[in-house]
Structures are given as structure tokens and as C-alpha cells.
Amino acid sequence: MTGTLVVGAGQAGVQLAVSLRESGDTMPITLMGAEPQLPYQRPPLSKGYLSGDTDADRLALRTAAFYADRGIELVTGERITALDTGRAVTDRGREIAFDRLGLTVGARVRRLRVPGAALDGVHHLRDLADADRLRTALAGTRPVVVVGGGFIGLEAASVARAHGRPVTVVEATDRLLGRAVAPVVSAFYAGAHARRGVRVLLDTGVTALDGTAGRVRSVHLTDGGELPAALVLVGIGVEPRTELATGLGLACPGGIPVDLDARTALPSVVAAGDCTLQPHPTGGGHAPVRVESVQNAVHQATVAATTLAGVARPTPEVPWFWSDQADLKLQIAGLAAGADEIVVRGDPAAERFAALHYRDGRLQAVDAVNSPADFLVVRRALATGTELPASAARRTDRPLKELLVA
Ligand SMILES: Cc1cc2nc3c(=O)[nH]c(=O)nc-3n(C[C@H](O)[C@H](O)[C@H](O)COP(=O)(O)OP(=O)(O)OC[C@H]3O[C@@H](n4cnc5c(N)ncnc54)[C@H](O)[C@@H]3O)c2cc1C
């Protein structure tokens, strides 16, 4: 009896190991993590941890005793460098035999490919070590340039601004958070950050970073402009780690392909979390998607565990996500895919509203800003298949929950 090897001890890897035990699986489990710390939560790295409100010891997902009590052998600070059928090799030269494999290797940050991108003072934010470096640098540095108007860049920009730093966000497309939210929400965030003193440049790319004595000093822009910069945070997305899967012979076109059971094309090999490419949750002919969220990592890993253990799969979940920027809490439920109608409830000017996405008259998703009740109503409606027609949602004189069609 050799057991299960889970490669990657992040949110998905931990959940896979724990859910295997909860499924009644008694085979040995090895959970391998390349990072030295106990597995931890990443969301606070661009929020409370970066701002100094949360300590490192509050980030851990579980205590060391938790894993030991469940017979999960947690190995930290050791990376799997090669995989073969039934055998793995680590960067310390250790060999590990397995008969079932979970790939929960996550993603790595995408890097700027311009001259000067490797200068000192240029930061990325994916793991705790990155957050520590950024937190230290933020304490003394000004001005700050954030490249990329996505969630992580905007959350970090809010923290830097709250610390009194001059901050400019440079976004190559015509709107913030463009991949995730409705245009009205993008426009709202551009205004909200500007009101808090963050300069937002849209439709603007970066052509080069300039430095003095190896340290970044300025950022050159596609419009010919130049921004002074003592600290640059690059937040332009992530790339799934697919090299181990590719080495096993799996074709990985932008993620490790899995089915609804989190199964790869190889027997006894599952994958979960940021590294996967999965069927679109709404089906309907949409292309497979990568979903980067805690909810997805946890749910997909739970599904993967039931697949390995041969027990019933849990019911599908509605994807959901959150982002904290300054005092603005954004909550998203559902995956918007090509909405043809957006219904706005509440008042963007009062920084409290929700944008409901519709396609062919069917509710798809909600982006709720400081509106937790609307978020919950839509999340529940999507989960239960309850209808919430656009014509009803437009009745802004009535609470959303009263407009559900039984
Ligand atoms: C700064 C930040 C803020 C975020 N905020 C939010 C948020 O507000 N809400 C939300 O829903 N999501 C948020 N996310 C996204 C969320 O954290 C991820 O979707 C989630 O962590 C994915 O979990 P994962 O286990 O798939 O991958 P990861 O958390 O990346 O874990 C993968 C682990 O595998 C390890 N690994 C990789 N290769 C190997 C190997 N060969 N051998 C051993 N170990 C290996 C890595 O070192 C890593 O520790 C945020 C992410 C970041 C970085």
C-alpha cells in the first residue's frame, strides 16, 4: 500500500488531503509543499497582512497537529521536481512512491517583459515571502506605481494609499477589473480609487523601467509619459503551473484540463485549484475556464477527493469571490459570460450598489459593492435555480429577495 501524493500544499492541496480523510479514506497521504511555512491563506497578503493589521501566525490554514492527528504527512520546504507513473522525485533527491496523485500546484505570477523589469524595487505578490518584501518596502518608499488594474494590484494600491503613499495604477485596457466585473463596476472603481487619491491611468501600457544603481527610478509609458517610481508592483495575472502535468504526458493548453469530477485524462490523477482548466460551470457551450478563487480551490479539491475515494460527488456550488479595496467590499457570485443586459440596483454614488448580469433574460452573476444582502440573494437564486427576471430586478423600490419568482 503506497498511498496518495498531493503535490502543492496551498488551499486546494490541504482541502484535498482533509476531504480524503473525511471521505473515509485510510490510505497514507503525503502533502508536499515547496514553501517553508505551514500552509496558509493567500487573500490577506494583499489586504490585512500587507496593511499590518493581520500577523503571519493568523494566516495558517491549520495547525501542524491538525495534519498529524489525521495521519496526513505534511512536508514543507521541499519541491517535487519530476513525476513518473507511481514515482516522484524531490529537489532534495528523495523518491516518493504513490498510486494516486493530486496536482494542486497553483499558479505563478506573470512577469513584465520589458527592459528594466528585474530592477530592485520591482515587486510581485503571490506568496508570503513576496508579501513580506512588499510590506517592508512599502513602509519606507514613495512614490508607488502599480502595473495592472486587477484585484491584487488594486487591493495593494488601496493599502499603499492608506499608508499615505502617492500611488498610480497603470492599466493597459480601457477599464479596471475588466475580466471580472460589469463595465459599470469598473467605472465605479476607477472613480472610487481616484476619490481616495489614487491616480488611475487606463489604456496605458509600460514600455520600460528605468533605474539608478540597479534600483527602479521611473516607469516609461506607451503614451510617451514617464512616472517617477521608487516601488513598482506588477500585478498582471498568473500562469498555471503545468510543467509536472505536461511531464506526465498531459496536454495543458493554459491549465491542467479536468472534468467535472476533477479527473485528468490519466487514471488515478486528479487536479484542483488555480492550476486547472475546467468545464464552464454554466455549461452552455462556453469554453473551459480557469477560476482563481478560494471557493473554487476548496470546492474542486473536495470533488477531487470524492473522485479518488470513489464516493458521491458533492452538489455543484455557485462560484463566488470577494475583494476588499479600502472600505469597499466587492462580492461576486456566479460567472458572467457575455452578459447582454446589466441591471444596476442601489446607488454607485453612495458606494453601495449591485450589478446583476443577464444573458438571454437569464440571471448569470452579481457584482455587489457594499451590498451583502443582494449578493446573498443572487447567490442563493443561482444555487436553487430560482428565477429573478431582469424586469423584476429593475423594481428598485423593493428588496431583491421579494422579487424572486417561486
Ligand atoms: C495576494 C492574493 C490575494 C488573493 N485574494 C483573494 C480573495 O480575496 N478572494 C479569493 O477568493 N481568492 C483570492 N486569491 C486567490 C486565491 O488565493 C487562490 O485562488 C488560491 O490560493 C488557489 O489555491 P491553490 O491551492 O490552487 O494554489 P496556491 O495557493 O498557489 O497553492 C499551490 C501551492 O503549491 C506549491 N507548489 C507548486 N509546485 C510545487 C511542487 N512542484 N512541489 C511542491 N509544492 C509545489 C506552491 O508553492 C504553492 O504553495 C488571492 C491570491 C493572492 C495571491
What pLDDT score was predicted for residue 283?
72
Please check whether residues 302 and 390 belong to one and the same domain. Answer: no
Are 177 and 150 contacting, i.e. CB atoms less than 8 angstroms apart? yes
- Looking up residue 363, the CATH number of its domain turns out to be 3.30.390.30
Domain end among 177, 200, 234:
234
Pocket of ligand 1 contains residue 25 by CB under 6 Å: no
In a domain, 314, yes or no: no
Please check whether residues 272 and 295 belong to one and the same domain. Answer: yes
Query: Is pLDDT of 1 > 70?
Result: no
Task: Please identify, by atom number, the ligand 1 atom nearest to the C-alpha of residue 323.
Answer: 8
- Looking up residue 64, the CATH number of its domain turns out to be 3.50.50.60
Q: Which amino acid is at 306?
A: T
Question: pLDDT tens-digit profile of 3-52?
Answer: 999 999 999 999 999 999 999 999 999 999 999 999 999 999 999 999 99
Spatial distance between the Cα atoms of 237 and 199, rounded to a whole number of angstroms: 21
Please check whether residues 121 and 103 belong to one and the same domain. Answer: no
Identify the DSSP state of 316: P
Ligand 1 centroid, distance to 218 Cα (angstroms): 30
Are 205 and 224 contacting, i.e. CB atoms less than 8 angstroms apart? no
Task: Please identify, by atom number, the ligand 1 atom nearest to the C-alpha of residue 45.
Answer: 1
Please check whether residues 130 and 101 belong to one and the same domain. Answer: no
Question: pLDDT tens-digit profile of 346-378?
Answer: 999 999 999 999 998 899 999 999 999 999 999
267, β-bridge pairs: none
Question: pLDDT tens-digit profile of 178-196?
Answer: 989 999 999 999 999 999 9
Average pLDDT over residues 301-327: 95
CA-based end-to-end distance of the chain:
52
Query: Is pLDDT of 275 > 90?
Result: yes
In a domain, 322, yes or no: no
Ligand 1 centroid, distance to 275 Cα (angstroms): 9
Q: Is 213 exposed, middle or buried (0-12, 13-18, 19+ CB in 10 A)?
A: exposed
Domain end among 234, 259, 284:
234
Domain residues for the domain of 301 are: 4-108+238-309
Q: Which amino acid is at 102?
A: G
Q: How many C-beta atoms lie closer than 10 Å to residue 187's C-beta?
A: 14
In a domain, 181, yes or no: yes
212, β-bridge pairs: 215
Please check whether residues 18 and 82 belong to one and the same domain. Answer: yes
CA proximity to 320, closest of 356, 349, 290, 296: 296
Average pLDDT over residues 164-169: 96
In a domain, 317, yes or no: no
pLDDT confidence band for 173 (50 / 70 / 90): very high
Query: Is pLDDT of 113 > 90?
Result: yes
- Per-residue DSSP letters for 191-253? HHHHHTTEEEE-S--EEEEEEETTEEEEEEETTS-EEE-SEEEE---EEE--HHHHHTT---S
Q: 134 or 85: whose pLDDT is higher?
A: 134
Name the domain count of the chain: 3
Please check whether residues 266 and 175 belong to one and the same domain. Answer: no
Please check whether residues 229 and 160 belong to one and the same domain. Answer: yes
